[in-house]
Structure 1
Amino acid sequence: MRRRKVNKRILTSVLSVVTAFGGFAIAQQPAPKDPAKPAAPAKPAPKPKPVAPLPEYTGLNPKTMAPTAGTADNTAPEGFVAAFNGKDLTGWVGLLKAPNDNPIKRAALSAEDRAKATAEAEANKIANWKVEDGALVFSGKGRSLCTANQYGNFEMWVTWKIKEAGDSGIYLRGSPQVQIWDTNLKNGAHVGSGGFYNNQKNPAIPLKKADKPVGEWNTFFIRMVGEKATVYLNGELVVDNVTLENYWDRTQPIFAKEQIELQNHGNTLWFKNIYIKELPDSAAK
């Protein structure tokens, strides 16, 4: 049998490619771990956001009550004071610009800085809030409208109306908020208005949906005593003695006394029939 001659040039080329590829493969291998060097600790997994528990009836409050105060517009029922006179913005002030919308930061302002911030807030109020047909009307721009007085324990009636896509709320003791919104929005609004939207450890959604169709007037009755608040919407119990958390500093309880704020996110809004009755400190017991 004849033996074929091997082409040395081809063989040399093949060996060169194999050698180069082998070197490349070796270079791609991870370097051996140094047994003397400890492995870097794994990063801790991010903490899950708190999930507020579902609301429950406590049995402390009846499930229904009168749907309105039962008096003529902007006429306070017995024992209450009309916070809005139906004519002008007397008794109301503008919300200070951030970061001084936070009551903690607001309290720390010097007298000079507070005066400047207050002047700016008043100009913002006048530009964006007006009275029309016996109701407070918000332009959809600017900031919240606030009571000039501060309140601790109180009961409150307030009637409100929104447009489509409306998203609003009522701050109690300067803290957000009793939620108001168009329940057709695709952001969880289907649960209804009245819940404590910013709660994390306590119930945040209402017990039931009791809103009237967008464009119609709705009425809240709110009672706040200590850290707890109860809310009726159109006569239906929607929040039953739930703790309102301190949004500004969750390590602290809600402020003992602060302003009430009418808040909105960029849409026209109406309020009227705002009646407040202050309760004694003993009510918290």
Structure 2
Amino acid sequence: MLNRSVLSVMLLASCVFAVSAADNQLSEKEKAEGWELLFDGQDLSQWRNFKRDTLSDKWQAKDGVLQLSGAGGGDILTKKTYENFELQVDWKISAGGNSGIFVLVDETGNAIYSHAPEIQILDDARHSDNKIDSHRSGSLYDLLAAPASAQKPAENWNHVVIRLEQGHLQVWQNDVVTTSIVIGSSSWNTLMAASKFANWDGFAKQHSGHIGLQDHGDPVYFKNIKIKEL
């Protein structure tokens, strides 16, 4: 027979597990702090395709996960725009896959990435983009490389925090800092000059924009997508 102290520990552990296992929900504390869900496990009404009013049926809510079932779904974005915010996302990429999370998306360019910085999602072991360190998962794409300690193998869940406040862009992947830079600063301009975006008119010039998710032709999965305006 278990004594009371052992039972108490077991009950506490089960409660902690129950809290951590509750995907796509906000705690009372998060609600009080102003967090909002961008996906509750079922409802896709906060999302639409780039330059469209509708959402492709290849982007699906299944088993509490927002997933791209196959190529052709198109890039998607939030209907709402954000300026100063903290965004949290859990993502998982398929074997050999590629995707991304965009911030400051506008729709004046030809593609979702025309003006929007991207946090890379990649199977670092298999995808050919792994040859460039700033193209690996968690990196500020083609600008700042994420440390290897921030990266997990494909088909594992990763947790990303993206914070943008007064132009200061910070990113954490799996609790490791991958980016901290002020957009438009001398450091930013130096990185831009050495990147593929050097001559991209309008790149990261906007002060607010949509949150975007990329269709790179590979299955990709998202959950626990939540945002707090700052």
TM-score by length of 2: 0.71
The answer for the alignment partner of 1:159 in structure 2 is 90
The reply to whether residue 179 of structure 1 matches residue 120 of structure 2 is yes
Find the residue that maps to 2:150 and give its secondary structure: coil
* CA–CA distance in structure 1, aligned partners of residues 138 and 182 of structure 2: 12
Q: Which has the higher contact order (CA 8 A, sep 6+)?
A: 2
The count of corresponding residues between Structure 1 and Structure 2 is 182
Seq. identity, %:
32
Cα distance, 1:260–1:186 mapped onto 2, change above 3 Å: same
Q: Does the CA-based 8 Å contact 2:104-2:204 persist in structure 1?
A: no
**Residues 100, 118 of structure 2: 8 Å contact kept:** yes
Q: Does 1:86 align with 2:41?
A: yes
Q: Give the stretch that moved more between structures: 254-263 or 242-251.
A: 242-251
> Which residues in structure 2 correspond to 1:172-251 (within 5 Å)?
172-174=103-105, 175-184=116-125, 185-188=127-130, 191=133, 192-199=136-143, 204-243=144-183, 249-250=200-201
How many Å apart are 1:71 and its aligned residue?
7.2
Contact 1:183–1:190 (CA<8 Å) still a contact in 2? no
| CA displacement at 1:249 relative to structure 2 | 4.3
Q: What residue is the counterpart of 2:209 in the other structure?
A: 258
- 2 CA distance for matches of 1:212 and 1:252? 29
Conservation of the 8 A alpha-carbon contact between 2:103 and 2:210 = yes
Q: Is the 8 A contact 1:144 1:261 kept in 2?
A: yes
Larger gyration radius, structure 1 or structure 2: 1
- Residue identity matched to 2:213: L
1:6-155 alignment, distance < 5 Å: 72-77=22-27, 78=30, 79=33, 80-96=35-51, 118-119=52-53, 122=54, 125-142=55-72, 143-155=74-86
SS of 1:237's equivalent?
Answer: strand
The runs of 4+ residues in structure 1 deviating greater than 4 Å are: 244-253
> How big is each residue's C-alpha offset from its partner over 1:33-79, in whole Å with a ceiling of 9 and x where there is no partner?
xxxxxxxxxxxxxxxxxxxxxxxxxxxxxxxxxxxx95720112412
- 8 Å Cα contact 1:140/1:265 also seen in 2: no
Higher share in strand: 2
CA distance in structure 1 between the aligned counterparts of 2:147 and 2:156, rounded to whole angstroms: 21
Distance 1:207 1:171 in 2: 20
* Cross-structure match for 2:108: none
Cα distance in 2 between the residues matched to 1:254 and 1:207: 27
Q: 1: CA distance between counterparts of 2:201 and 2:130?
A: 23
Q: Which runs of 5 or more residues in structure 2 are unaligned? A: 1-18, 106-115
* Deviation for aligned residue 1:222: 0.9
Instruction: Tell whether the 8 Å contact from 2:117 to 2:204 is kept in structure 1 after alignment.
Output: no
CA distance in 2 between counterparts of 1:189 and 1:132 reads 33
TM-score w.r.t. structure 1 length?
0.58
Superposition deviation, residue 89 in structure 1: 0.7
Instruction: Give 2:12's aligned residue.
Output: none
Counterpart of 1:263 in structure 2: which amino acid?
Q
Instruction: Return the alpha-carbon distance in structure 1 between the equivalents of residues 25 and 206 of structure 2.
Output: 29
Q: Which runs of 5+ in 1 are unaligned?
A: 1-68, 97-117, 280-285
